[in-house]
Structure 1
């Protein structure tokens, strides 16, 4: 008798659970109409009545319910998709934003085992006191408060739930399995590119369940804000932090959500809005390292109006070049020239030339009329609407661009709630201008040159090995060159002559404009000779080129 591995049995049971949840929410056809799954015995003889099918407008709600019913991995998948309207559509992404990650707390004895196993010591040897009642419980982790024995500091401890990594990796395997089969056998789902969605989610969730990533993010962000007195990032205690446990400074503040609703005079709401905007623009435009989910629940406020960013497990990273291109795009948006905006989007590889359609141009024109008439005023929602314009034209945006759009939208929304006169337009323009000035500064030029020289050094260092490897392949007959050496030599010679011609022309021009030395017909003789010499070389080069073409 053939023994079926336990892992395979578990997978079959999980697929059956997924099917039941899908069927309950009227998505059973995703499996029932998939010819691959018709072979599964537990799916045979199941009938679906058309009377049970809900109207299409309920699809976003049903998708959210599926995520909630299937547990942690699917809740996180839904939350990720809520930030990707370009992949799933605006209606679905907005509905998925309602997903709540609050779950019933696990028994403390189970969580205690994780802490002691990860830190390698009993809790009472590490902490003077430990509050067994969590202050927060989500699908992946629970958060407790305690006092460190080492220094008496009040701390927060984020603890990963037992076996959550194994559960998520098991569900990821099934997600990939289902995504590939459904995408292959069910044509109507191809527009969503399910395998690509699952691959992106896998990268995101595996980083999120590795708490060491979050500790590194905290340290980077703290370094970036070390000279900004009104921004604080929690201090992690590395000696008491691992892949599954983070011990960090306990923040003595309240959530921005409560500040927005509060009428307490000690909170200067206009100042908090300004600081939130300035700090986020700095993250995006200056640091290139930004909080990917700055909703009010992830921002704490101290009594002195200092802002603290928490839960930095998910961040966006923008390279120096991308930030420069983004600054140019922002200024073009400010100026309101549709053609220039589209050209910039093409240059940034956000859209391709074939996607530059009349419909896209019309949508961006409408956006300009709405927000960018004479000047950028009342720009709340402008970034979000730009993303929607891309989505309406079937453009899949780079992940970081969508994260940035969502982050700016959240900051705008919070700012408006704190201060009805909150206006991001002029401030965003100023930051973009500063960034472009920096891009042209000698300091950046020095950095770019240094990087170039470093790359050239690496190239020179690796060149002997590369040549040896190439020669070995030639000796072994593994590499074939289909080039004429004489032709290459001739091309090299022509390139050399062309460089000489360019240099002589430049030198001759300088001699003429310098207005010095002997002259003929009021023209510098040295410059004139240079141009004649350049012309002769140019004629020779053309003749040589024609001869090569005839050969």
Structure 2
């Protein structure tokens, strides 16, 4: 199946003539010959430009590739405009499947007619994406307007085929590239597989949505729609229908005099709040999943949907990341190097001075620019690349966070090109770190744990008595064992003496005779 999938990818690559995207000096001869050998593959979308052909190719290859295009489309600071514009259509303009099939899936999941729960079901989808599509309806019981998300039929085999291909590529990379094992490519694919498969369980998405909503109840930064968990199944999700302006519709936001600076800053605040305050963050914040409530243009609020992919960090991850970000904001390269070593991201034998100098060489040229022109996510990526020269182990648990940061900064710069991530993020991180690890917080933690210490102290004499009795019993047992060994040694010595005497008598008897 893997080789069949490779063949499919190559034929799509040739059909849409995507070799135009490859720098000519890097296109190897064998790859050109390989494409030429597929002479029977007919060209597609001949009249379209390369951006549109790339979008159609990713769409034809399926969900894994569509998601890749969605991620890349947010990086307008590094991607040509014509490619970014074309790939942006992958957010919610993926080809839909028949609405009648969607109706059948919903009725099968609920075990009854769709009319038992809903009225005004619209067979034409409101939006269609890589994994599922969305239909509108009205709840019969409350007349509330809702959307019903329906998984695409027969999607699992396609995803599993691509995942197998990714595992194959990761294994080849690990075996054939020097220090390839340090990149932990197989582990990263495994992490991506788990993430992608979670999107195929809409009941998990319902839980994630409800939890994120609880975290931002009455927030002026982010709104998460209400989910009707009793109507959700593995392949369908029912939630409140929201009305907002798509984040990608910059012209519409400007026409309504939305405060773009505040909106961009609130995106950064929402990200850091989820990562550090809640340790539960929406990890798929591409433009297709974000809308803006512009009912108060000078006080805009984000609306987040599609909460299938979420991220959670360990407490150590949170602390090291916060310290790393703060050291970076303060241009303390020595501290960054120490954090990388202390966290275990690089070997503990790493020369801290050499690592510091390497990181300084990456960061200082960037800091020479105006703050509004510095890409934080790009520099963070560059720091990871430097650390790999010092045998850094890729941390799969951080890949979702890296991707989300790319999304957030990319969106923020689209909304407000002068976005100063430093000014927005640094005060938040400083306050979070102070609140989390200040002397006052540590004292409060000790004070909170006093009832537990009280129970321990009350039980301490009993435990010490038990321990003393156990120690005495162990001493008695050891004494008995020692005495038994001494008796065994005496018996052994007498046995040896008797055996020796018998041997001597036997020899004497032989000599006499």
Which category describes the TM-score, using the shorter chain as reference length? 0.5 to 0.7
Measured at CA, do residues 66 and 342 of structure 1 come closer, stay the same or move farther in structure 2, by a change above 3 Å? farther
| Equivalent residue number for residue 424 of structure 1 | 421
The 1:341/1:260 distance shift into structure 2, 3 A limit, reads farther
Question: What is residue 381 of structure 2 aligned with on the other side?
Answer: 387
Partner of 2:255: 264
Match for residue 287 of structure 1?
A: 278
Shift in alpha-carbon separation, 1:127–1:355, aligned structure 2, 3 A = farther
The answer to whether the Cα contact below 8 Å between 2:336 and 2:356 also exists between their aligned partners in 1 is no
d(CA) in 2 for partners of 1:414 and 1:278? Answer: 13
Residue 145 of structure 1: SS of its match in structure 2?
A: strand
Distance 1:420 1:75 in 2: 26
- The residue aligned with 2:137 is 146
Structure-2 residue corresponding to 1:204:
195
Confirm or deny: 8 A CA contact 2:188 2:396 kept in the other structure: no
**2:436 maps to 1:436:** no
Secondary structure of residue in 1 paired with 2:146: strand
Q: Secondary structure at the match of 1:201?
A: helix
The equivalences for 1:334-483 within 5 A come to 334-353=329-348, 356=351, 360-372=355-367, 377-378=371-372, 380-394=374-388, 395-441=392-438, 442-443=440-441, 447=445, 450=449
Higher radius of gyration, 1 or 2: 2
- Between the aligned partners of 1:322 and 1:185, the Cα distance in structure 2 is 29
User: Cα offset for 1:249?
Assistant: 0.8
Contact 1:129 1:147 (C-alpha < 8 Å) held by counterparts: yes
- Pairing partner for 2:156 from 159, 165, 168: 165
* Residues 379, 424 of structure 1: 8 Å contact kept: no
In the alignment, does 2:305 pair up with 1:314?
Answer: no
Q: 2: CA distance between counterparts of 1:414 and 1:172?
A: 28
Compute the TM-score of the two structures, normalised by the length of structure 1. 0.64
My pick for the range that moved more, 266-275 or 215-224, is 266-275
Whether the aligned pair in 1 keeps the contact of 2:377 and 2:409 (CA below 8 Å) is: no
Q: Deviations over 1:416-468 (max 9, x none)?
A: 333344322133221122122222355566558759969x99xx9xxxxxxxx
Write the distance in 2 (CA, Å) between the matches of 1:72 and 1:345.
35
Distance 1:379 1:74, change over 3 A: closer
- Aligned equivalents of 2:282 and 2:31: distance in 1? 47
**Cα pair 2:202 2:233 within 8 Å, conserved:** yes
| Cα displacement (A) at 1:256 | 1.4
Say how many residue pairs are matched: 417
Deviation per CA, 1:361-416: give whole Å up to 9, x if none: 4442134423557x994374123212123225534532343433343343333333
Q: What is the TM-score of this pair, normalised by structure 2?
A: 0.68
Counterparts of 2:406 and 2:64, CA distance in 1: 26
Does 1 or 2 have the higher relative contact order (CA < 8 Å, sep 6+)?
2
Q: Is the 2:103–2:123 contact (alpha carbons within 8 Å) kept by the matching residues of 1?
A: no
Contiguous gaps of at least 5 residues in structure 1: 1-9, 28-45, 54-60, 84-89, 461-484, 487-551
CA distance in 1, matches of 2:179, 2:12: 18
Q: How big is the shift at 1:260?
A: 5.5
Deviation at 1:324, TM superposition (A): 2.4
Partner-residue secondary structure (3-state), 1:333: helix
Q: Is the 2:124–2:135 Cα contact (8 Å) retained in structure 1? A: yes
C-alpha distance in 2, partners of 1:356/1:319?
27
